[in-house]
A = this chain, B = another copy of it.
Amino acid sequence: MSKLSVTLGIDIGGTNTVFGFVDKEGKCVAESSIPTNAFEPAEKLFERLFPQVDAVYQTIAKNYYLVGIGIGAPNANYYTGMVELPPNLNWQIVNVLEIVKKYYDIPSAITNDANAAALGEMKFGAAKGMKNFIVITLGTGLGSGIVANGDLIYGHDGFAGEIGHVVVVEGGRQCGCGRNGCLETYASATGIRRTVFELLCNSNDVSQLRSFPFEEVTSKMIYEAAVSGDKIALAAFAFTGEILGKALANSVAYTSPEAIILFGGLASAGDILFKPTQKAMEDNMLNIFKNKVKLLPSALHSGNTAVLGAAALIWNELEKDKVQLKENVPVENWDVM
């Protein structure tokens, strides 16, 4: 039996670095993780990471052949291979792809987690077969990956897709970027927490969220409160959806996507978030786009979604290279390279 190709997807988060081996259908055949240790330099992370990767690879090496490495990391630049001043890591500026090359002599690529998510949805998820769509990742912040004409938009400098930093409220909430009113200060896990506290101050409604300090309230708690009928929590989701939906209506005017896909923790709130978002999006949409753009949840379910995204990045690169370098050689045949 000939071996099947897999790529290694690595997602570097502030707390954990997760990795997995993903086949070209998006099946994660083995995965594991190590703590990131955010205060260490990048080199140390990879010193600890790659022996673990090799150990896991040994368990599948009989049946699989590693053909590339894709990495998702905060503030990662696809063009340069650099990660620059990542907000939750003490890395400063580091060329990650150069470090990787010291360990593995196979194709590798890096991008930020939102771009990786977009490629993951295109290859394995809700955007299969689409050539124009936007993925919005709702995590601590709001990230986005924009695909147009079938290609991810990296922009001139590799930093395209910062929809989280589109200003949606003039003079609004203070943002980590140093400005005010950015979308992510409203539509994100931290944004909805801020909204809860604004509502707790403006309204007299009883709420189970009144018994927790700011720092302890999570989007999961707000979701659970909303499900149990908590008025403040429900109003927080309604407000978040309204701001997000309006912003998405504006986004549609740029690239006219077939779909917008919501990804990440907050997106798993389902209808409680999707309904007000969809309504605000349609209510504020330019007529030529009305009722045309699908609002979809992520369809990445097998294993760690960020690992699938990182793996999709390098699958995508390998297929681009294939087209240019070796036409019509089936991917399976790479196994014997």
Contacts and interface: CB of A to CB of B under 8 A. Distances in A.
B286 A250 contact: no
Given A163-B254, A250-B166, A251-B254, A131 B156 contact: yes
Given A286-B165, A286-B177, A287-B177, A254 B146 contact: yes
A289 interface: yes
Interface of A: 130-133, 146, 148-149, 151, 153-163, 165-167, 177-179, 246, 249-251, 253-258, 284, 286-289, 292-293
A77 to B, nearest CB: 10
A185 to B, nearest CB: 13
A154 B162 CA distance: 20
21 contacts: A132-B153, A132-B156, A133-B156, A146-B254, A146-B255, A148-B151, A148-B160, A149-B149, A149-B154, A151-B151, A155-B257, A156-B293, A157-B288, A157-B289, A157-B292, A159-B289, A162-B288, A165-B253, A165-B286, A178-B287, A179-B286
Identical subunits present: 2
B167 A284 contact: yes
Contacts of A130: 156
A130 to B, nearest CB: 8
A235 B324 CA distance: 54
Contacts of A179: 284, 286
